[in-house]
Structure 1
Amino acid sequence: MADVRVTYDQKANAAYVYFADPQARTQVARMYPCDPVEVGGMINLDFDESGCLIGIEVLAASSKLPQHLLDMAERLDMESS
């Protein structure tokens, strides 16, 4: 099973699922927003220059993603010591 990086900011209630290596600094060339009315929140699909899906941004993440995924996500809202 491939490793997928997931980040989560609980204060913003936003998550990002990376399909491209985040260290590669792949640029988003095109963002396709899903209809917020249809999905009950904003979900954005990010594509690179070749049209490959590189990540998914999920707003209102706590109501859209499974809790176990949010629990294992890298937290962006916690202050580092």
Structure 2
Amino acid sequence: MNILYNDKTDLLYIRLDNRRQEVRNIRVSEDIVLDIGESDKIIGIEILDASRRVNLESLFPVEYKVLRKAV
């Protein structure tokens, strides 16, 4: 997964699947576009005017944990 932010265009892009594949775009609102890939899975989320919609200061740097199921 990659998270990219362009401060000049105020565009936030969250890439969930890094595999190279054909995508189609679905605009779900004026400022949000989903990239749909193979098997109709969401592979990317584009947010326009991101600074008005997302608290960027809390987003960067990104922290994450990998949770594993108990065996």
Q: TM-score of the superposition, structure 1-length normalised?
A: 0.65
The answer to whether the aligner puts 1:47 opposite 2:36 as a matched pair is: yes
| Distance (whole Å) between structure 2 residues aligned to residue 66 and residue 14 of structure 1 | 13
The answer to whether the aligner puts 1:27 opposite 2:16 as a matched pair is: no
SS in 1 for 2:51: helix
The structure, 1 or 2, with the larger RCO (C-alpha pairs under 8 Å, 6+ apart) is 1
Give the structure with higher Rg (CA).
2
5+ long unaligned stretches in structure 1: 37-41, 74-81
CA RMSD after TM alignment = 1.6
Contact 2:13 2:47 in 1 (8 A): yes
Q: TM-score of the superposition, structure 2-length normalised?
A: 0.73
| Distance (whole Å) between structure 2 residues aligned to residue 18 and residue 26 of structure 1 | 12
Mapping of residues 2-81 of structure 1, within 5 Å: 4-21=1-18, 24-28=19-23, 30-36=24-30, 42-67=31-56, 68-69=58-59, 71-72=60-61
Q: Select the structure that is richer in helix.
A: 1
- % identity of equivalent residues: 31
Task: Provide Cα deviations, 1:47-78, integer angstroms capped at 9, x if missing partner.
Answer: 00310000100000111112221x337xxxxx
Q: Segments of 4+ in structure 1 off by > 3 A?
A: none
5+ long unaligned stretches in structure 2: 63-71
- Provide the aligned length of Structure 1 versus Structure 2: 61
| Distance (whole Å) between structure 2 residues aligned to residue 27 and residue 63 of structure 1 | 30
| Distance (whole Å) between structure 1 residues aligned to residue 3 and residue 40 of structure 2 | 21
